[in-house]
């Protein structure tokens, strides 16, 4: 990924739902870009399936990943590659991050959401346009968040759940920040490694080992954005050494660790996704106070 270092966040209004309006496994944020200048930003890979609903009055927001261009609302699967968002003029977009387990229920486990970029219409059919129209007509972001939560909740209720063994494996990966062995997870759920790989890949759209790598990378990327030195991040995130960290950062973003730490997309996390960043900030401050820490913020 190539960071858009000149992106002007001062032209962007960010809205987040109140804590009472949040659904488990789902995070939402609303973005409004003011002015007529070109908005161009590169997203950093995140361990979630991302639904981006284009609410601009004039369609034209373009999403690009791995050479595929989609105009309008999209669903970006786990680690879709270099994902860029661009458009000229005033734009509004609702971004929804879905835990992969929740995404499998919302979109259907048969939908391939691993490393892909799909038009929302390709996933939801005619419902996609109706959802866009309702959200666009809402009088406020709070109303939009409420509408979106209701739509997602109804889809969750209507879909068969993901296998509990797959849910357990994903939860353990998330809790362990990707520092888990697939063989150990298979043993915990009583499955063979092959069966866990097959069911996990079929239902979440990504192989277990790559999923664990993505979770570990995400934790490392946010530590880098918080100002931690690469050597300290590598040690805390379970990489063999600093070179291993650099290889993984390169694999997921095409950037160096230093460039990821300065990526504009991560800079807005403190505003758009405050719950996760607050937790990371507490952990980072605790690490800085640790007598064994030798890096610098």
Instruction: Name the pTM for this structure.
Output: 0.81
* Pair 225, 125 in one domain: no
In 59-140, which residue ranges form alpha helices assigned H by DSSP? 100-107, 120-124, 126-137
* Pair 194, 87 in one domain: no
Q: Which residues contact 120 (CB under 8 A, 6 or more apart)?
A: 51, 53, 72, 73, 74, 75, 128, 131, 132
Q: What is the pLDDT of residue 255?
A: 84
Candidate from 26-35, 108-117, 228-237 with smallest mean pLDDT: 108-117
The pLDDT of residue 288 is above 50: no
Candidate from 31-40, 68-77, 221-230, 257-266 with smallest mean pLDDT: 31-40
* Pair 228, 135 in one domain: no
Cα separation, 156 vs 106, whole angstroms: 5
* Pair 140, 13 in one domain: yes
* Pair 33, 146 in one domain: yes
The pLDDT of residue 296 is above 50: no
* Pair 78, 185 in one domain: no
Q: What is the pLDDT of residue 123?
A: 87
In a domain, 4, yes or no: no
Q: What is the pLDDT of residue 110?
A: 56
Q: What is the pLDDT of residue 59?
A: 61
* Pair 170, 248 in one domain: yes
- The structural domain count of the chain equals 2
Domain end position, chosen among 158, 191, 218: 158
In a domain, 65, yes or no: yes
In a domain, 97, yes or no: yes
In the structure, what pLDDT confidence band is assigned to residue 62 with cuts at 50, 70 and 90? confident
Residue written as token pair 């509004």:
92
Q: Domain range for residue 279? A: 164-289
**Mean pLDDT rounded to a whole number for the chain:** 81
């Amino acid at each position: 990924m190539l960071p858009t270092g000149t992106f002007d966040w001062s032209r962007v209004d960010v809205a987040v739902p109140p804590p009472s309006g949040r659904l488990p496994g789902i995070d939402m944020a609303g973005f409004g870009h003011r002015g007529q200048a070109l908005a161009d930003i590169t997203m950093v890979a995140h361990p979630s399936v991302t639904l981006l609903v284009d609410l601009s009055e004039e369609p034209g927001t373009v999403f690009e990943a791995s050479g595929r261009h989609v105009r309008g609302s999209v669903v970006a699967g786990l680690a879709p590659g270099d994902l860029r968002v661009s458009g000229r003029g005033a734009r509004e977009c609702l971004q929804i991050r879905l835990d992969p387990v929740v995404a499998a229920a919302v979109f259907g486990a048969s939908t391939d959401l691993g490393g892909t970029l799909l038009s929302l219409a390709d996933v939801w059919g005619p419902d996609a346009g109706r959802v866009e129209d309702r959200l666009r007509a809402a009088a406020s972001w709070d109303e939009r968040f409420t509408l979106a939560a209701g739509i997602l909740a109804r889809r969750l209720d209507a879909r068969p759940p993901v296998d509990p063994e797959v849910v357990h494996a994903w939860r353990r990966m998330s809790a362990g920040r990707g520092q888990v062995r697939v063989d150990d997870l298979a043993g915990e759920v009583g499955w063979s490694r092959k069966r866990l790989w097959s069911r996990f890949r079929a239902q979440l759209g990504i192989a277990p080992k790559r999923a664990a790598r993505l979770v570990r990378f995400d934790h490392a990327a946010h530590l880098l954005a918080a100002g931690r030195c690469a050597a300290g991040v590598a040690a805390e995130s379970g990489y063999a050494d600093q070179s291993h960290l650099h290889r993984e950062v390169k694999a997921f973003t095409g950037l160096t660790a230093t460039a990821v730490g300065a990526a504009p997309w991560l800079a807005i996390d403190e505003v758009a996704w405050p719950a996760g960043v607050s937790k990371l900030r507490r952990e980072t401050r605790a690490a800085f106070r640790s007598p064994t820490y030798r890096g610098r913020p």
